[in-house]
Structure formats: structure tokens, C-alpha cells
Structure 1
Amino acid sequence: MHVKVVEYTEDWVAQFQREMEKLRDLFGEELINIHHIGSTSVPGLKAKPIIDMMPVVKQIDRIDAYRPQMEMLGYECMGEFGIPGRRYFRKGGDNRTHQIHAFEQGDPNVLRHLAFRDYLRANRKDAVRYGDLKADLARKFSDDIESYMDGKDALIKEIEKKALDWYSHL
């Protein structure tokens, strides 16, 4: 997968909204909420142009039954994909456009993702630092997604720690 980081665009909000409606129709009563997460959800943040979405559902195991419908929407079903309790779907192959990270209500990963997003929305200095690092890594490792991901890891952990502390005091 080619790594490309671009400037923020308002179109990411519209892309999220369009896909959210499809998922809302599909998951129906099982769905509690759908959140736009990841870098494309933070105004002004440089990002890979991939929309990360987090459906929060009543029972995560029930999401497995939606596999055929998700495939009809163009998603590849990846199961937990390294995070217990998650259902991960990706759309677009090597030119990925969307990623779905579904969790059951109460899973600590829901809080982690929302805290990280909201912290970056409220703390411009860390958002710029994170965006600049991602852009630099994308230039250095444009054809090496693993090195790109590894290069972000320490800063993500630092910001995540701050975000969870910040979020707990809201």
C-alpha cells in the first residue's frame, strides 16, 4: 500500500456522512452510534485520505452475520485483525477509502478512540505535531506502510496517554 498524507479537506466529513447512512441502514437496531474517528475526523489535521469509522453496537458477535452485506458494499471483512473484540472492515483494496472499526458498547477501545480524536480537536499544538510527523514519515516511507506505522507509534502512545487523562477530567 502506497502511503500518502495530504492536507485536511472538508470533503472527509461528507464522505463519512454518506457511508454512515449506508451502515446505519445495514446494522439497524444493532447499532448504538457511529463515530468518525482517526485523523480525517480532526479539522486541519494532515492525514491519509482514508475515512475511519467506529460503529458502536449492542453485541459485537452479531456483526459477523452482516459479512455478506458488508461485502456487497465493497468491504473486505478482516475479523478482529489484532484487536480482541473488534470487527474490522476495509474498503478499496490498495487504494483504501474507508476503514470500519466496530466495537461493542462498553469496550475500552471506544473511549480510547474518542479521547484521542477529541483531544486532537481541542489541542492544536499536538495535532500539528502529529500531522507533521505523519507527512514526514509518508515522504520517507511512501512504499513501506510498516515503517510508516512504526514511526508514528511513540507519538501516538504519548498523545493517547495525554488524551485519556484529559478526557477523564471533562
Structure 2
Amino acid sequence: MPYRRFFVRSGNGFIIPSHRKISKHDTNISATAHIHMLEYGSDHWTRHIAFKEYLGHNEIERCRYEKFKLELSCREWNDSQEYSAAKGVLIAEIEQKALIWYADYND
């Protein structure tokens, strides 16, 4: 099972898995949710929770992350992969610190 799945709601109320090709010009369909589904306790789950909790407890890193995300929001992106690549280096750096912090925090 993929760890994330995208859904859209059509004008008639049906929810359609996003692997179906949908034109961005289709006025009958609009995105309603971006859902991440993770197995509780998995490594992937731990990375996400550690990142979230670390930012919640570390004001300096939270402000740094916020400033960076605001800078990224001012740019034009060709697609979501380009945006993800741009934020990837900082995310990986913070994630490593977060995992160390999280392990200590939960002992």
C-alpha cells in the first residue's frame, strides 16, 4: 500500500483516486484533500512524528523552517517535484536532528 494517496471530489460527489488523469482545466473536479496514511510505529511514521514534535519544541528550528517555506512560497514552480526537491535538503537536515532529539525525548 502506498503511504499516501490523493483524492479529488467531482461535481457529482464521487471521490476519485488521483492516479486517474484529471485535467487541471476540468471545472467539474476540485481537489479536496491530500491524505498521508502511515503505519503506526513504522520508521516512516516515526520520522514524521519526530519532525513535527521537534519543530513544536524548538523555536529556532521552527522559525528557520517557517522562513524557508515562506521564501519557497514566493517562487514559481513547474510541478510539485521541483518544489519537493527545493525543500528536501533542509527537511533532511532538520529530520536528522529531530530523530536524535525524539529518541532522547522519549526515553
TM-score computed with the length of structure 1 as normaliser: 0.44
- Tell me, in whole angstroms, the C-alpha distance in 2 between the residues paired with 1:91 and 1:116: 27
Q: Give the CA deviation at 1:167.
A: 0.2
1:146 aligned onto 2:81: yes
Q: Secondary structure at the match of 1:169?
A: helix
* 2:6 aligned partner: 89
Equivalent pairs: percent with the same residue? Answer: 36
Q: Given that residues 112 and 160 in structure 1 are in contact (C-alpha distance below 8 angstroms), is that contact kept between their aligned partners in structure 2?
A: yes
- Tell me, in whole angstroms, the C-alpha distance in 2 between the residues paired with 1:117 and 1:130: 11
* 2:15 aligned partner: none
Q: Give the CA deviation at 1:151.
A: 1.1
1:165 aligned onto 2:100: yes
Q: Name the aligned partner's letter for residue 120 of structure 1.
A: L
**Structure 2: 5+ residue runs without aligned partners?**
10-17, 19-23, 25-29
Q: CA RMSD in A?
A: 2.3
Q: Give the CA deviation at 1:142.
A: 4.8
Q: Given that residues 115 and 164 in structure 1 are in contact (C-alpha distance below 8 angstroms), is that contact kept between their aligned partners in structure 2?
A: yes
TM-score computed with the length of structure 2 as normaliser: 0.67
Q: Secondary structure at the match of 2:41?
A: coil
Segments ≥4 residues shifted beyond 4 Å? 91-97
